[in-house]
Amino acid sequence: MEKQIIWTGIDCLSIEKCSISKKEDSFHIKGELVGNRNNQVFGVEYQIVVDLQWQTRFFSINSSVANRYNSISGHKLNHLWIIDEVEYPEFSSCLDIDISVTPFTNTLPINRLKLDIGESAEIDVLYLNPVEDKRVMVKQQYTKLGEHSYHYKNLWSDFEATIEVDAEGIITSYPKLFARL
């Protein structure tokens, strides 16, 4: 699989270019985006490697917000997340990551869970917000509504949305937040 995608951010006025390529036993994802939230310009570059079951194995995020630069990287070794060379056992139940500024990371649990229509799953996710330099474990729920639609709910906040995906599980529509060009 070789795929190029462009999303626009509605909530934070952003534009993102994302590429997905399949290597021998993994998918490699690279995204670059710029945006503006609350009159604050930001830029984010990320890389993600997942195995063929869509479990996250590695991530790297570089961000720039108002002349402040930040870098974070992590990899999963067995069931342990190692982030910036520090072990985080409290994140061990997280198989997926959620980078707040991109819709791509919703693809990870959608493809990994392989839900049947009407089926639902609650998962622990490592939530990463590069604009606010935040990382925390959160609970999310995905319910498959149809062949290409899912109901997504943050169980740690009141946010929920019905998102649409293409045949490969990649987001095409995320109401009020992102649109695919």
Band of the pLDDT at 12, cuts 50, 70, 90? confident
Q: What is the mean pLDDT of residues 15-33?
A: 97
Band of the pLDDT at 11, cuts 50, 70, 90? confident
Contact 117/92 with Cβ under 8 angstroms? Answer: no
Distance CA 54, CA 50 (A): 5
Is the pLDDT at 178 greater than 90? The verdict is yes
Task: Give me the numbers of helices (H) and strands (E) for the chain, helices first please.
Answer: 1, 15
- Using alpha carbons, list the distances in angstroms from residue 94 to 57, 64, 69, 167: 11, 26, 26, 25
Q: What is the mean pLDDT of residues 127-131?
A: 94
Q: What is the mean pLDDT of residues 78-93?
A: 96
Read off the tokens for 18: 């994302």
Mean pLDDT of the chain, nearest integer: 96
Is the pLDDT at 158 greater than 90? The verdict is no
